[in-house]
C-alpha cells in the first residue's frame, strides 16, 4: 500500500473492555462519510439490478459486467443532474 500511495481506509472496531478512543471515533466518522455513499451504490446494484451474484464465469467477464453497471449508474446520475439543472 505504501508503494502505491494507498491510504488505509478500514474503520477501527472497539472490543468488550477496550473501547475506541476519541481519535479512532473521529477517524471512523471521516471514513464513514465516503464509505456510506459507496455502500449505497453497491446496495442499489445488488437490490434492483440483481447483482448479488455474477452471471459469468471468469474475472474478465465479471469485471465487464460491473463496468457496464457503473456506466449505467453514471448515465442515470447524469440524466438526473441534467434534468434538475438543465
CA distance 84 to 86: 6
* Mean pLDDT to the nearest integer, 38-52: 90
Count of CB atoms within 10 A of residue 65's CB? 15
Positive or negative torsion for Cα 81, 34, 42, 19: negative
Confidence at 16, pLDDT banded by 50, 70, 90: confident
Whole-Å CA distances, 72 to 30, 41, 48, 67, 69: 28, 12, 13, 9, 5
Contacts with 41 (C-beta within 8 Å, 6 or more apart), sequence order: 73
**This model's pTM is above 0.85:** no
Q: What is the mean pLDDT of residues 28-36?
A: 90
Amino acid at each position: 500500500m505504501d508503494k502505491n500511495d494507498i491510504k488505509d481506509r478500514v474503520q477501527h472496531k472497539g472490543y468488550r473492555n477496550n473501547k475506541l478512543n476519541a481519535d479512532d471515533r473521529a477517524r471512523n466518522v471521516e471514513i464513514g462519510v465516503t464509505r456510506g455513499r459507496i455502500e449505497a451504490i453497491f446496495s442499489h446494484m445488488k437490490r434492483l439490478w440483481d447483482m448479488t451474484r455474477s452471471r459469468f464465469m471468469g474475472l474478465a467477464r465479471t469485471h465487464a459486467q460491473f463496468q457496464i453497471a457503473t456506466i449505467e449508474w453514471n448515465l442515470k446520475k447524469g440524466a438526473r443532474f441534467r434534468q434538475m439543472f438543465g
